[in-house]
Every structure is written in C-alpha cells, then in structure tokens.
Amino acid sequence: MTNEGARGPGRPTLFERILNALHLPYPVACLLLAILAGGPGFILIEYAYSRDWDMTLRLVLSQPNGATWEGGIVSALFSLVNFLVFTGIAQLRNRLVAANEYLIGLSPDGEVTYDRAFRLMPSWWPAVIAFGLESVSAISASVSGLVDAQGLPHFALLEVLRFLMTFGIITFVWIYATGLRGLHEIGKQPVRLKSYHEDLLLGTRPIGQISLRFAFSFFVILVLVLIGNTFLPDSSTFAIVVVFSIIAVTMFFLPLNSIHRRMAEVKGRETKSVRARFTRLMEGAEPSDPSQSTEPFDRLDRRLRELAGLQVLDMEIRETASIRTWPFDTRILGQLTVIILSVLAALIVRLVIVALPVLR
C-alpha cells in the first residue's frame, strides 16, 4: 500500500517522497528539515551572509532589540511545530492506510468507493499552491529592490527553505482536509453497519477514532502556535490560527455528520420495529378467563410464552434505546472534550494578554 502504484492514502505524498529521497529514516529527515526551515536554519544562513549577529537576529526573529529569551523560545517552538507538521503528514495518511480493510468493508462498492473517496489525497495541488505563494513573495521582493545580484544566491536559498516549509504545512492541511472529506464521502453512501446486538456503535468506532486522531494532531499544532504567539504577539498569526481552528472544527464534524445520519436512521428503524412487535404481541394476548374450556396447562404454557416474549422485547427496547447515533464511546468523548477545551483555553489566554495593555 505504500508503493508508487497505490492510490489514495496508500500512495505517499510528494512531500514524503522528496524527504524519502534523502535515504534517511523519515523522522530524521523531518527533524533536519524542521531545523533548517525553522529559526536555527534561517539564523545560520542570514549570519553566513551578513556576518552580523545583531542584524541576523533582528531579521529572523523580528526583534528590534536583537536576541531575547522570548525569541529563543519562539524559535524552538516553531521548529517543533515544523517537525510535528512534517511527521504528521505520514502519520495521518498511515492511519487511513491501517483502516483500509475496515473502510473498504464499510463501503457499499468496496475498493471502488474507497479509491473514489480518497482520490484527492496524493494530489500535487499542495506543491502548486506552495510554489504559487512563494513565487508571489519572491517577485514582490525583487520588484521592491530587496534583492541585488550579489545577494541572489542567499535569497534563493532562503526561498527554497521557505518553499519547503510552506509545502509541508499545506500538505499537512491537505491531508487533514482530504482525509476527513473521504470519510464524509464514505459516510454518505449506504454503508454496511453492524447489528446493534453486536455493537451499539454499529461498527463505526474506527471512524470516530480516525477523526479524533486527525483533530488531535491538528489542534496540538494550533495550540503550540498560540503559545508561541503569547511570547511574541502577532495579530496576523493569531487571526490565522482562529481561521484554521474554525475550518478544523467544521472539517472534523463533516464526516461524523454523515455517519451520524446513517446511525440515527438505523436507531429509528430498529426502535420502530421493536415497538411494532411489542404492540402486536400485546394485541394478540388473550384476556384471562377461567370459564374458557382450554386446558389449564395449555393456558399456562401460552401465558409463559407471552411473558417470555415480552421480556425479550423489553430487552430489545432497552438495547435499541442505547444505540449510539455518533461514532464515539465515553473514552473518545473525553479526549474530544480535552482537545476542545485546550484550544479554547489557549485562545482565551491570548485574548487576555492582548487586552491587558488596553485595560491598564
């Protein structure tokens, strides 16, 4: 499932193939690129060009006073964010690969539905978007006169690093969006759910787990960016995080909403069926009449069968009432709550920090 001929999640993204070309373990390649495309790499390149530590730190860390401990923390945090983003690309994709058999078994047309749902995942669009963004940045710098012939190699090297960092970030967002979109596409189909006698989640637990893992990876990165933003406040970064948080939450519930409708339909159908059987059984029950000529033992046997049927139906009514309509169990709901509260807490802390100078 990881060769070039594979489709959907089974095919590595272009970003992964570029790092794999280094012939290093993928996490090691991610770490090296995270350092180079983060503060440490830009600092080394700027210093090699200017030979001036003061100017280098002001440029890279955007700090007019040069090196500060806040700048060092932010530099380390964003290198960590880069590493989590780069490794997260493979982790999220491999989570879908691991659920391949389950998702194919859930799909009405098997592998055809699976391939169609995740067809956009190995697309080259992240590379095209990243190249377009960095091209605009490079052209703007050239037109404004910030680049001369002598500094062209230095500028080109910086642009390559910026492109790789942007490419990695866009690929991560792309995997997140297309992965959850694929789950949504599968959930819209007449999926093969399990019987509620076998599983009150109707066999949808893996979808909830995959969605939660996607959300957890995405929101951990957003929280780290917000923490960095508290040390070096930047309104544009905060606004980007807020926008991405809204998009991430919306995308998170997208696949769950489609599977939720299917589960709700099953619960409604099964509940209606059980209640109809209960009604028929009650209507068919004969009133007790000692004057009837039926043998006492026959009446007793019939009553016992009716009581047994009522007990079975009572158990089924309780079971159908317990059928879940969302693919979450208690543990997953707890994890989801922690994720949402963490993001909200980070956003509130950031807003308080911004509001403090105004309130003084």
pLDDT digits (tens, 9 = 90+) for 47-92: 676 666 666 666 555 555 555 666 677 778 888 999 999 999 999 9
Residue 91 has what pLDDT?
94
Closest to 218 in 3D by CA, of 340, 104, 330, 109: 340
Q: Interior CA angle at 171 toward 210 and 161, to 5°?
A: 140
Residue carrying structure tokens 């910086």: 158
Residue 174 has what pLDDT?
94
Residue 62 has what pLDDT?
56
Closest to 12 in 3D by CA, of 101, 114, 97: 97
Residue 279 has what pLDDT?
73
Two tokens, residue 97: 């690969």
Whether 165 contacts 37, CB under 8 Å: yes
pTM assigned to the model: 0.78
**For 183, how many CA atoms within 13 A lie in the half-sphere containing its CB?**
32
Residue 331 has what pLDDT?
67
Burial class (CB in 10 A: 0-12, 13-18, 19+), 21: exposed
- Name 196's Cβ contacts closer than 8 Å, sequence gap at least 6: 202, 266, 267, 270, 319, 320, 323
Residues in the chain where the model's pLDDT stays below 50: 1-2, 5, 293, 358-360
Residue 184 has what pLDDT?
85
Report the C-alpha gap between 6 and 222 in whole angstroms. 31
How far is Cα of residue 63 from the mean position of the Cα atoms in its chain?
34
Cβ neighbours of 11 (radius 10 Å) = 20
Residue 13 has what pLDDT?
93
